[in-house]
Amino acid sequence: MECLDTPAVSSPEAPPVRPRPRPKTPSPDSRETQTYIRFLVSNIAAGCIIGKGGSTITELQSQSGARIQLSRNHEFYPGTADRIIMVSGTTSEIIKAMELILEKLLTEAEESNDAEGKSKVRLIVPHSSCGGIIGKAGSTIKSFVEDSGAGIKISPQDNNHVGLNDRLTTITGSLEEQIRALFLILSRLSEDTHYSQSIITPYPYAVACNPMSGMNVCGGKYPNSKVMTSPVVSTRLSARTFEGRGNSLMIGVADEHIGAVVGRGGRNIMEISQVSGARIKVSDRGDFISGTFDRKVTITGSWGAINAAESMIMHKISSISAR
């Protein structure tokens, strides 16, 4: 894809390649700032990152300190067949995670002779934040190319998908060049207050207003009331309780439908937790919401994560109810 509003920028034909410095360690202040980055991977690459039983992604998170979330296997970036990975944490944690992920993918690409898979990283950047990367007359992106040695291109805005406000930033080059470019881009994005405050789910295109819920789950803040009721979602999805301490939501799920939420061996609930970033706890058998036969499902995390998890749970229940 061609750049929009930017000159065609490629790696300068240079004197012999010199060793490039590793990404600089952020200052103490930047370590405290939580931010995120999203990028595209194929379904096969996503499976490689998850690993058997989630072992690889667990190890990547442990080594880096960052949270790594993926869109589900049928949730693709609009206009592509690629899934989305979101890495969140401090700048240093994210860069460490990206280095580990790209090293893993590079190894897999080399083993499978996938030349394309080892040559680029495609970041998802909000359209409103692209100007900070481009700079006046392309000055910032040019400086990033010269500093990193990587090729950096920003795609035109996609007008074919209504509501899509993101653009793809493609980074090409060696692993070291890509990591340096990622650091420069993420550092610039982190200076954008709106960007850093808009941490979302890996797949915001699916987490929209749910007409069944009777409530806006598009990212707005919930009221502080203790109990709210909503229309029935499945035959017996009932009251929601909002706890005053921290972000926590309890919903009721009919006992006969809880299996669809949990899945065989806990597979469904683990996937929902992984994709949304929320923690999900289901009450024990026989532990019902008072006056009902609904099991308690408690969801905790950021409101964005809670919204995403609730939407996915509702989808599971609706699928069962529709049969």
pLDDT at 297 over 60: yes
The CA-based angle 274-280-282, given to 5 degrees, is: 135
Other beta carbons within 10 angstroms of residue 169's beta carbon come to 25
pLDDT at 147 over 90: yes
Q: Kindly report which listed range (2-11, 191-200, 253-262) carries the lowest average pLDDT score.
A: 2-11
* Pair type for strands 248-254 and 294-300: antiparallel
pLDDT range class, residue 145, cuts 50, 70, 90: very high
pLDDT at 220 over 50: no
Per the model's pLDDT, the better-predicted residue between 263 and 72 turns out to be 263
Other beta carbons within 10 angstroms of residue 172's beta carbon come to 17
pLDDT at 200: 64
Q: Per the structure block, which two tokens stand in for 200?
A: 């979302």
Residue 21 φ/ψ, nearest 5 degrees: -65, 150
CA distance 91 to 319: 39
* Contacting residues for 44 by C-beta, under 8 A, at least 6 apart: none
pLDDT at 54: 84
pLDDT at 306: 81
Average pLDDT over residues 259-279: 89
The percent helix, strand, coil of the chain (3-state, each to 5) is: 40, 20, 40
- Cβ–Cβ under 8 Å, residues 299 and 279: yes
In this prediction the pTM is: 0.57
Average pLDDT over residues 147-169: 84
pLDDT range class, residue 73, cuts 50, 70, 90: confident
Average pLDDT over residues 16-39: 61
Tokens 């980074």 identify what position? 171
Per the model's pLDDT, the better-predicted residue between 290 and 150 turns out to be 150
CA distance 257 to 89: 35
Helix-then-strand count for the chain, H and E = 11, 11
Of all residues in the chain, the percent with pLDDT exceeding 90 is 33
pLDDT at 3 over 50: no
pLDDT at 51 over 80: yes
Average pLDDT over residues 182-190: 95
* Contacting residues for 182 by C-beta, under 8 A, at least 6 apart: 23, 37, 95, 98, 121, 123, 171
- SS3 of 130-174: the string is HHHHHCHHHHHHHHHHHHHCCEEEECCCCCCCCCCCEEEEEEECC
Mean per-residue pLDDT of the chain:
75
pLDDT at 281 over 70: yes
CA distance 93 to 88: 8
- Cβ–Cβ under 8 Å, residues 169 and 53: no
Torsion of CA 245, 249, 254, 260, to 10 degrees: -120
Per the model's pLDDT, the better-predicted residue between 302 and 246 turns out to be 302
Other beta carbons within 10 angstroms of residue 174's beta carbon come to 17
- Cβ–Cβ under 8 Å, residues 310 and 234: no
SS3 category, 268: helix
pLDDT range class, residue 16, cuts 50, 70, 90: low
pLDDT at 185 over 70: yes
CA distance 75 to 309: 15
CA distance between the termini of the chain: 43
Of all residues in the chain, the percent with pLDDT exceeding 70 is 69
Per the model's pLDDT, the better-predicted residue between 321 and 98 turns out to be 98
Question: If 0-12 CB within 10 Å is exposed, 13-18 middle and 19+ buried, where does residue 233 land?
Answer: buried
Residue 250 φ/ψ, nearest 5 degrees: -115, 130
pLDDT range class, residue 319, cuts 50, 70, 90: low
CA distance 121 to 142: 18
- Least Cα distance to 298 among 260, 261, 257 occurs for 261
